[in-house]
């Protein structure tokens, strides 16, 4: 029996505890300076006034939490096709969310909510940089039913027992809803943890070593005793080995932390079909569940590096419509540790077919020259200028210059080599990356706007740049064949004008 959301209803009564903890958290953030003072000067504070003050705060939080619970209602207005939420403490606020504009519905469960036994349901549209509606305390069954009703994108056109639907087809549909068709194992998450986020790991190592080196140098300048002790315990012949072992140890620590973070975040990752949509659920301490509509997906990114290819895994990222760059990063739905077969299954559900690459455009070699100039030429010029006019001691580190040139040069070369734009009748695929090779997939009818540019000295060379604007982000390609780009733009603009797809 389906739940009745046509009448206003409140959250779970035990949700008052959730309101209490969230309100307490807000008070603690606002009053943390006073709390710190009370902790350090507890002996000087009048104990009677202190406990009376604490009692007053807790009572006020309890009253506010009860009023939040009492005044919070939600229901579905089927006549106007809106989801109505009323909330407030003393002043009530009524929020009406049009069902057709809902982009994403998440079911989350924080550690506190897990202890209490309730869930949080968030409703998100493309018109704001925050969640339009949030139900903090709701049962799991009710949350799933409400989420399904909010994102219901298939009409009930088949009736069990008619000639159009066989018993086997009906049973297959029920089986798909009840059982996940993709489940990411812990082993796959472990592989993702040790093969991704190299940039973050290297950055953390550089920051750590620079901080340690600076502190040791300052401490060494102030203490001759320190230098004598170091000289007596460390043989200079083993300095290089010690540094190498330290680097390997710290890199291992970073990898372990990264693996733990991935497993905690994506533990028990399951993907289930639900009425033409994808139901994703994952998380160890904080559980998250979300439904995405295939027709509302803006950009789908498939990423893989050398090690992941050898291990048979890859990463998928799905972007829906957002209202800004910050929300764009927060709203990315990640599916880590997929196999090639699982990737194809997801792409078939999202696009009803596996995307094909088609015509290939590659950038002019001038893109590589310009990238090398920006990443190597300008920094070297700055290095020489600073050493020559401001600080000659900087030339003591000139031995690092060849290593910098080789590493950055290789990165720019592979970025140029992997930069491609594939144009198919139904898909546009942008390939990029130096180590992690990414393929951004969009459909032409999802394009919102197109920007082209061509510098006057590029006209004779017939090269130019293009930016495809979508509600989930932009895709840019520089210095490609401009005549082909203009030809395809006219076709895409025609498809945009004639398309009636419901992607908003």
Residue 21 to residue 101: CA distance in whole angstroms: 32
CATH ID of 359-498, from 1.10.287.70, 2.30.29.30, 1.10.3720.10, 3.20.20.70: 2.30.29.30
- Beta partners for residue 49, in sequence order: none
At 127, the pLDDT band (50, 70, 90 cuts) reads low
The whole-number pLDDT of residue 216 equals 54
The whole-number pLDDT of residue 252 equals 78
Q: Name which residue leads in pLDDT, 318 or 102.
A: 318
Q: How does pLDDT run across 240-280, given as a tens digit for each residue?
A: 677 677 777 777 777 887 888 888 889 989 888 876 778 88
The whole-number pLDDT of residue 500 equals 66
Does 198 score more than 70 pLDDT? no
The whole-number pLDDT of residue 218 equals 57
Read off the pLDDT of each residue in 429-438 and give the average, rounded to a whole number.
94
Does 42 score more than 70 pLDDT? no
Does 221 score more than 60 pLDDT? no
The whole-number pLDDT of residue 379 equals 92
The whole-number pLDDT of residue 20 equals 85
Q: How does pLDDT run across 304-324, given as a tens digit for each residue?
A: 999 999 999 999 999 987 655
At 17, the pLDDT band (50, 70, 90 cuts) reads confident
Residue 178 to residue 180: CA distance in whole angstroms: 7
Q: Give 100's contacts (C-beta < 8 A, 6+ positions apart).
A: 81, 502, 504
Type and span of the H or E element at 365: none
Rounded to the nearest integer, the mean pLDDT of the chain is 80
Q: How does pLDDT run across 267-278, given as a tens digit for each residue?
A: 989 888 876 778
The whole-number pLDDT of residue 421 equals 96
Q: How does pLDDT run across 328-385, given as a tens digit for each residue?
A: 555 688 999 899 999 998 998 889 899 999 899 999 999 999 999 999 999 999 999 9
The domain limits of the chain are 15-150, 359-498
Read off the pLDDT of each residue in 176-199 and give the average, rounded to a whole number.
78
Residue 311 to residue 195: CA distance in whole angstroms: 9
Does 483 score more than 60 pLDDT? yes
The whole-number pLDDT of residue 209 equals 60
The whole-number pLDDT of residue 501 equals 64
Does 445 score more than 70 pLDDT? yes
The whole-number pLDDT of residue 161 equals 40
Type and span of the H or E element at 465: strand 463-470
Going by C-alpha positions, the residue among 283, 367, 362, 361 that lies closest to residue 114 is 283
Going by C-alpha positions, the residue among 350, 283, 332, 322 that lies closest to residue 124 is 322
At 294, the pLDDT band (50, 70, 90 cuts) reads confident
Contact call for residues 444 and 423 (beta carbons, < 8 A): no
Residue 114 to residue 284: CA distance in whole angstroms: 11
At 443, the pLDDT band (50, 70, 90 cuts) reads very high
The whole-number pLDDT of residue 208 equals 61
Tokens representing residue 195 in the block:
């093969």
Residue 417 to residue 172: CA distance in whole angstroms: 45
Q: Tell me the percentage of the chain whose pLDDT exceeds 70.
A: 77
Q: Tell me the percentage of the chain whose pLDDT exceeds 90.
A: 27
Q: How does pLDDT run across 140-180, given as a tens digit for each residue?
A: 888 888 887 887 644 433 333 443 444 454 444 445 545 67
Cα pseudo-dihedral 300, 305, 310, 311, rounded to 10: -60
Using CA atoms, how far residue 143 sits from 54, 122, 180, 283, 473, in Å, is 35, 10, 18, 17, 30
The whole-number pLDDT of residue 26 equals 77
At 281, the pLDDT band (50, 70, 90 cuts) reads confident
Q: Name which residue leads in pLDDT, 308 or 1.
A: 308
Lowest-confidence pick of 21-30, 54-63, 210-219, 301-310: 210-219
Does 220 score more than 90 pLDDT? no
The whole-number pLDDT of residue 211 equals 62
Q: Name which residue leads in pLDDT, 503 or 478.
A: 478
Q: Name which residue leads in pLDDT, 167 or 404.
A: 404
Contact call for residues 288 and 281 (beta carbons, < 8 A): yes
The whole-number pLDDT of residue 222 equals 47
């Amino acid at each position: 029996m389906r739940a009745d959301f046509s009448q206003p209803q409140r959250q779970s009564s035990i949700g008052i505890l959730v309101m209490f903890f969230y309100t307490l958290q807000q008070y603690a953030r606002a009053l943390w300076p006073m709390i710190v003072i009370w902790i350090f000067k507890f002996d000087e504070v009048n104990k009677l006034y202190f406990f009376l003050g604490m009692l007053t705060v807790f009572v006020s939080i309890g009253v506010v939490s009860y009023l939040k619970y009492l005044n919070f209602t939600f229901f579905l207005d089927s006549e106007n096709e809106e989801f109505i939420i009323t909330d407030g403490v003393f002043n009530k606020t009524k929020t009406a969310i049009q069902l057709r504009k809902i982009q994403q519905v998440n079911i989350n469960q924080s550690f506190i909510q897990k202890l209490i036994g309730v869930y949080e349901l968030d409703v998100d549209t493309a018109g704001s940089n925050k969640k339009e509606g949030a139900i903090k305390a709701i049962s799991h069954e009710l949350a799933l039913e409400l989420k399904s009703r909010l994102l219901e994108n298939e009409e009930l056109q088949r009736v069990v027992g008619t000639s159009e639907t066989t018993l086997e087809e009906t049973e297959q549909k029920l089986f798909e809803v009840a059982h996940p068709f993709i489940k990411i194992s812990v082993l796959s998450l472990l592989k993702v943890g040790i093969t991704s986020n190299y940039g973050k790991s290297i950055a953390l190592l550089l920051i750590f070593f620079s901080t340690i080196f600076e502190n040791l140098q300052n401490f060494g300048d102030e203490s001759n005793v320190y230098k004598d002790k170091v000289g007596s315990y460390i043989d200079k012949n083993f300095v290089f080995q010690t540094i190498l072992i330290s680097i390997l140890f710290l890199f291992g620590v970073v990898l372990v932390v990264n693996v733990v973070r991935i497993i905690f975040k994506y533990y028990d990752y399951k993907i289930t079909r639900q009425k033409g949509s994808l139901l994703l659920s994952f998380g160890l301490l904080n559980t998250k569940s979300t439904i995405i509509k295939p027709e509302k997906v803006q950009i789908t990114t498939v990423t893989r590096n050398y090690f992941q290819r050898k291990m048979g895994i890859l990463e998928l990222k799905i972007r829906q419509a957002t209202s800004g760059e910050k929300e764009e990063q927060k709203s990315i739905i990640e599916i880590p540790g997929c196999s090639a077969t699982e990737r194809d299954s997801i792409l078939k559900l999202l696009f009803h077919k596996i995307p094909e690459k088609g015509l290939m455009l590659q950038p002019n070699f001038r893109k590589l020259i310009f990238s090398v100039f920006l990443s190597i030429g300008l920094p070297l010029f700055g290095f020489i200028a600073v050493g020559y006019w401001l600080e000659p001691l900087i030339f003591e580190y000139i031995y690092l210059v060849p290593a910098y040139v080789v590493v950055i040069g290789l990165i720019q070369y592979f970025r140029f080599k992997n930069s491609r734009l594939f144009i198919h009748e139904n898909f546009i695929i942008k390939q990029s990356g130096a180590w992690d090779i990414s393929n951004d997939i969009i459909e032409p009818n999802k394009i919102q706007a197109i920007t082209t540019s061509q510098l006057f000295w590029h006209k004779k060379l017939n090269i130019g740049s293009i930016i495809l604007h979508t509600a989930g982000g932009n895709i840019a390609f520089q210095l490609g064949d401009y005549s082909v780009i203009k030809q395809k733009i006219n076709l895409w603009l025609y498809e945009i004008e004639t398309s009636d797809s419901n992607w908003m």
